Amino acid sequence: MGGIFVFCETRNGSFRRVPGELLTQFRSVADAKGEPLGALVVGEPVADEVPQLSQWGADAVVHLDGPQLSDAGPEAIAAVLAAYVRDAAPSLLVFGNTPLARTVAPRVAEAVGAAFVGDCVAMAWEDGRLQLVRPMYGGKLLSRVLPAPEALAVVTFRPNALGFADARATSPTYEVVAAAVADDEPRSAVLETAVKSGDRVSLQEAEVIVSGGRGLGDAQGFSVIEELADAFGGAVGASRVAVDSGWISVDHQVGQTGKAVSPNLYVACGISGAIQHFAGMGSSRVIVAINKDPDCPMCEKADYTLVGDLYKLAPALAAELRRMSAEG
């Protein structure tokens, strides 16, 4: 059997970006292994499901028609995936490292006796083996991990870390598999779901993140951060100090005890750049620091630094971005 399957997570009725990264990147691995590249969708159908997955180079689309992701517990989703994996016996099951994958993927790995490697940021297919690279010790070291070649591996990748590869469009097969959850599976019941309103992109998948820290001085400061994030079309992040001071909720925290992110652009406003913060965003492609202290660690590591009052600089930058975008 064999095959590389990418779990294609949806959000608001369309696919997230990260399955696109994974499908296009694993195309060459599938070719090298001589195995098909599959796209695995669970739950609610997506409007342009097959065309999109064809653009990303999938050979096969498998829709597990079972629990709706929005109201199923992680145990049910893991059980449905595990049942399919037992049946189809792929060699590799790949997820984007999203909150859903974090609560589902290790459970799938255990249920099917697979290796698990989480939060990878790079991969290579060399000497007939998959080599994975993942940060450890808060990004202070990179670990090269080889899953045992004979075992199925469940692997998650940090969104934006691989990026998209060029892909040739395919004509995938499409199969709907009825997926039921056995009555004796453990399950949690969802009582209430509270998703924040607004269209801001998720922190971990955002291409641009604007973060605020101690230098903001108070909670109101985040209105400046939000204005700049909106001008970039990005997400809002925060340092531990900002979260611990109660200026913004913990789900915005970037760092070793918060979220690990890899955006194209990370704008750190009033963040001195403690090692624990850097652990969560040091792999960003471009870093901008806006800070009154040009000697702070963040300014030393940033690609571009604006020195001065962030309450003047951030709104000026937002205005400039809006002007540029209006001019097209």
Partner 1 sequence: MQILVCVKQVPDTEAKVVVAEDGRSISERDITFIMNPYDEYAVEAAVRIKEASSSEVTVALVTVGPPRADDALRLGLAMGADSAMRVWDEALENVDGGAVAGVLSVVAQRVGFDLVLCGRIAIDDAMGEVPLRLASRLGLPHANAVTELTVADGSVRARCEIEGGTQVVELGLPALVTTQKGLNEPRYPAIPAIMKARRMPIELLSLESLGMDPDGVRAVTRTHVDGLTVPPGRGAGRVIAADSPEEAARELARLLRDEAKVL
Under rule CB under 8 A, residue 182 binds partner 1: no
Under rule CB under 8 A, residue 293 binds partner 1: no
Indicate which single residue of 68, 173, 188, 223 sits in contact with partner 1 (rule: CB under 8 A): 188
Number of residues assigned to the chain = 328
| CB of 60 or CB of 94, closer to partner 1 | 94
Under rule CB under 8 A, residue 307 binds partner 1: yes
Give the span between the Cα atoms of 270 and 147, in whole angstroms: 41
Which pair of tokens denotes residue 159? 């969104």
To partner 1, the closest distance from the beta carbon of 37 in angstroms equals 22
Judged by CB under 8 A, the stretch of 18-26, 52-60, 83-91, 285-293 that binds partner 1 is 285-293
Under rule CB under 8 A, residue 190 binds partner 1: yes
Task: Calculate the CA 149 to chain-centre distance.
Answer: 26
| CB of 124 or CB of 169, closer to partner 1 | 124
Distances in whole angstroms, Cα of residue 114 to Cα of each of 75, 91, 156, 185, 242 = 17, 10, 13, 19, 39
Element (H, E) at 99: helix 99-112
The structure tokens 């653009």 sit at 55
Judged by CB under 8 A, the stretch of 19-27, 43-51, 58-66, 146-154 that binds partner 1 is 146-154
Size, binding site for partner 1 by CB under 8 A: 92
Interface positions, 149-178, toward partner 1 (CB under 8 A): 151, 153
Task: Calculate the CA 270 to chain-centre distance.
Answer: 25
Under rule CB under 8 A, residue 73 binds partner 1: yes
DSSP annotation string for 272-294: ---HHHHHHHTT-SEEEEEES-T
Which of 7, 152, 36, 30 shows the shortest CA–CA distance to 89? Answer: 152
Q: What are phi and psi of 125, to 5 degrees?
A: -110, 105
DSSP state of 311: H
Indicate which single residue of 48, 87, 293, 309 sits in contact with partner 1 (rule: CB under 8 A): 309
Under rule CB under 8 A, residue 180 binds partner 1: no
Interface positions, 118-137, toward partner 1 (CB under 8 A): 118-119, 131, 135-137
Q: What are phi and psi of 142, to 5 degrees?
A: -110, 135
Indicate which single residue of 78, 179, 242, 254 sits in contact with partner 1 (rule: CB under 8 A): 78
Interface positions, 254-283, toward partner 1 (CB under 8 A): 256-258, 260, 264-265, 275-276, 279, 282-283
| CB of 166 or CB of 184, closer to partner 1 | 184
